[in-house]
Amino acid sequence: MMNFDYVRPASVADAIAAASEKGATYLASGTNLLDLMKGGVSRPSVLVDVTRLPGLDRIERLADGSLRIGALVRNADLAHDAEFARNYPAVAEALLSGASAQLRNAATVGGNLMQRTRCAYFYDAGSACNRRWPGAGCDALKGENRLHAVLGWSEGCIATHPSDFSVPLVALDAVVEIEGKAGRRELPLGELHRLPGETPERETALERGDLIVALRLPATAQGFARHARYIKVRERTSYAFAVVSAAAGLRIEDGKIREARLALGGVAAKPWRAREAEQVLAGAAPDAAVYREAARAALSGAKPSGDNAFKIELAQRIVVRALTLAARGTPDRIAALPGSPFSSVAGA
Amino acid sequence: MNLPLSLTINGVRREIVLDDPRVTLLDLLRERLDLTGTKKGCDRGQCGACTILVDGRRINSCLALAVSHDGAEIITIEGVGRGGELHPVQAAFIAHDGFQCGFCTPGQIMSGIGLIQEGQAGDDPERVRECMSGNLCRCGAYQGITEAVLEAQADINAPKQRRSA
């Protein structure tokens, strides 16, 4: 790990000033950043520790019915908040399907959104990677790429975004609150992460110094609480990133799907909202045929970036599974194996 | 760059001056405070051997910068027994053969203590396994580990239930 200067500002304004310097980066719990620094992938010259900034660790209901989650709320605290889990069950399930109990105890909401891809070539300082070194090329393109992207990738980068949490969030129209040199602004979560295109090194829409201070779920997000699931296929049952995942939320009235939300994880450089599939589902009776049609629509633009054509079929099956389970009804309690299609709990 | 910090480790307050901000809690414990019960396995947050309690919560000490935890209360495996008596989770690991080589055991035990305090798993072995998935055991003693955590949890919770009955 390269050496760095450590600063712990007392206010958001001081933090932004410190992080606006070249080479500086924010430190929250560090569960991803320290790993990257140990591997020589990230080499910040200054770490700006934001963990003591006041007022960013609260969950609050706002007057308009939306929920505001401070960026320093820990993943475990959010997932185990009973009211949160009741109102946004797919988000809680996604959180609990990610990482390990130890990591969830440390990791923050803001840090989860800002975590980097787990592409092995990005992590290996000896491999060519356009994210790490613009113009270097992409060793993943001709390498071990069965877990790489099938949607929205470019010849420059085929990495995926690893967050489970952000998948149901993007389906529920979450908004990110950002403080920066120019003041406060908001961004739909769906616009935070960028597809690689010609500039894979620009992973998010944030500018230097920008700090995520909160995440907001609009009042409408609770409308899907009775029919919401997050389903995640992994290469082992627990403590693994998604090969493919799907978050599904349905509003079912009088035997018809009034509104559907669907997003996919593990398939692209960003959490992938499947609006075409939502349109297929809206107004339809909840049955297997329409789920399959929605799944085809969700993956209609997919193409393999390597040895991963199987993910296109797998993703469709996971979409069908997530919709089927969501329509059946949100379980009273999150399954023993959160997100797992192999859970032994009935109905999971 | 001198970085002063104050930590309470196993009930003892320690004033520490770091000369390097890169020191993790794990390296501080092992290399500078001679508390080598906490193990370094992968050093990358993948194995759980370095699990300790920080302010009552289990975390991976290899992914925690010491300087960022100024003021924290830390419990390590050295601090869980009382006056020569084993912690119930320690005793249960022996009773259930929850280890073979023993390298992962301090992390397993600290994780088990954290799990019981979190109170999310109940008496469901599948939930216990899921909540212990951040602790790898290359000897494969998972059956004994799960039984040990379940028994220790029952032991720890039993007096409370009697009192409330």
pLDDT at A345 (0 to 100): 52
A60-114 pLDDT tens trace? 999 999 999 999 999 999 999 999 999 999 999 999 999 999 999 999 999 999 9
* Contact pairs from chain A to chain B, CB under 8 Å: 96
Taking CA–CA distances from B56, the nearest residue in chain A reads A105
Length of chain A: 348
B window 60-79, beta carbon within 8 A of A: 60, 63-65, 67-68
Q: Do A38 and B126 touch (CB under 8 A)?
A: no
Reference A205, options A135, A122, A113; nearest CA is A113
Structural domains of chain B in order of their starting residue, each with its CATH number: 3-79 (3.10.20.30), 88-160 (1.10.150.120)
Confidence of residue B83 (pLDDT cuts 50, 70, 90): confident
On chain B, the residues whose CB falls within 8 A of the CB of A100 are 48, 133-135
On chain A, the residues whose CB falls within 8 A of the CB of B48 are 100, 102
B window 76-115, beta carbon within 8 A of A: 111, 114-115
Residue A312 covered by a domain: yes
CATH number at residue A15: 3.30.43.10
Structure tokens at A159: 């990495």
Confidence of residue B163 (pLDDT cuts 50, 70, 90): low
A34-48 pLDDT tens trace? 999 999 999 999 999
Look up residue B26 and give its DSSP letter.
H
Task: Tell me if chain A has a CB within 8 Å of the CB of B45.
Answer: yes
Q: Do A103 and B45 touch (CB under 8 A)?
A: yes
Number of folded domains that form chain A: 2
Interface predicted TM-score (ipTM): 0.96
Residue A13 covered by a domain: yes
Residue A249 covered by a domain: yes
Residue A23 covered by a domain: yes
Residues A108 and A121: their CA atoms lie apart, in Å, by: 25
Residue A195 covered by a domain: no
Of A38, A102, A238, the CB nearest to B59: A102
Reference A323, options A264, A249, A225; nearest CA is A249
Distances (CA, A) of A43 to A6, A40, A278: 13, 6, 41
Distances (CA, A) of A21 to A89, A113, A181, B68, B81: 40, 22, 12, 20, 47
Residue A107 covered by a domain: no
Structure tokens at A250: 């349905």
| Residue at which a domain ends, from A37, A54, A71 | A54
Q: For chain A, how far is it from start to end, CA to CA, in angstroms?
A: 43
Residues A10 and A51: their CA atoms lie apart, in Å, by: 10
Residues A148 and A121: their CA atoms lie apart, in Å, by: 11
Task: Tell me if chain B has a CB within 8 Å of the CB of A6.
Answer: yes
pLDDT at B165 (0 to 100): 46
Task: Tell me if chain B has a CB within 8 Å of the CB of A239.
Answer: yes
Residue A163 covered by a domain: no
Task: Tell me if chain A has a CB within 8 Å of the CB of B57.
Answer: yes
* Token pair 């010491």: residue: B66
Q: Do A35 and B63 touch (CB under 8 A)?
A: yes
Residues B4 and A341: their CA atoms lie apart, in Å, by: 49
Q: How far is B57 from chain A (nearest CA, A)?
A: 7
- pTM exceeds 0.95: yes
Of A8, A100, A344, the CB nearest to B126: A344
Under DSSP, is residue A264 helix (H, G, I), strand (E, B) or coil? strand
Of B3, B129, B134, the CB nearest to A103: B134
Reference B126, options A232, A334, A225; nearest CA is A334
Of A31, A101, A338, the CB nearest to B45: A31
Q: Do A6 and B130 touch (CB under 8 A)?
A: no
Q: Is A266 left (phi over 0), alpha (psi -120 to 50) or beta?
A: left
Does residue A347 register a pLDDT over 50?
Answer: no
Residues B139 and B136: their CA atoms lie apart, in Å, by: 9
Domain residues for A296? 224-328
Task: Tell me if chain B has a CB within 8 Å of the CB of A120.
Answer: no
Q: How far is B149 from chain A (nearest CA, A)?
A: 15
B142-164 and B88-95 are packed helices; what angle lies between their axes, rounded to 10 degrees? 140
Task: Tell me if chain B has a CB within 8 Å of the CB of A49.
Answer: yes
Q: What is the mean pLDDT of chain A?
A: 97
For residues A226 and A234, is the Cβ–Cβ distance under 8 A?
no
CATH number at residue A262: 3.30.390.50
In the sheet that A46-49 helps form, which strands lie side by side, from edge to edge? A5-7, A46-49, A24-27
Does residue B109 register a pLDDT over 70?
Answer: yes
Residues A26 and A11: their CA atoms lie apart, in Å, by: 13
On chain A, the residues whose CB falls within 8 A of the CB of B118 are 76, 80, 101
Taking CA–CA distances from B43, the nearest residue in chain A reads A35
A166-178 pLDDT tens trace? 999 999 999 999 9
pLDDT at A344 (0 to 100): 56
Residues A334 and A343: their CA atoms lie apart, in Å, by: 11
Does residue B66 register a pLDDT over 70?
Answer: yes
What is the average pLDDT across B74-99?
A: 97
On chain B, the residues whose CB falls within 8 A of the CB of A34 are 24, 63-65
Q: How far is A158 from chain B (nearest CA, A)?
A: 24
Best B28, B57, B108 residue to mutate vs chain A (most A CBs within 10 Å): B57
Structure tokens at B123: 């008496």
Confidence of residue A342 (pLDDT cuts 50, 70, 90): confident
| Residue at which a domain ends, from A54, A73, A92 | A54
Task: Tell me if chain B has a CB within 8 Å of the CB of A1.
Answer: yes
**E-assigned strand segments in A162-307:** 175-180, 183-188, 211-217, 228-233, 244-253, 256-265, 272-273
Helix (H) or strand (E) holding A277: helix A275-281
Backbone angles phi and psi of A23, in degrees to 5:
90, -5
Residue A120 covered by a domain: no
Residues A195 and A150: their CA atoms lie apart, in Å, by: 12
Q: How far is B30 from chain A (nearest CA, A)?
A: 18
Q: How far is B33 from chain A (nearest CA, A)?
A: 22
A237-263 pLDDT tens trace? 999 999 999 999 999 999 999 999 999
Of B22, B58, B133, the CB nearest to A105: B58
Task: Tell me if chain A has a CB within 8 Å of the CB of B118.
Answer: yes
Residues A132 and A42: their CA atoms lie apart, in Å, by: 9
Q: Which amino acid is at A275?
A: R
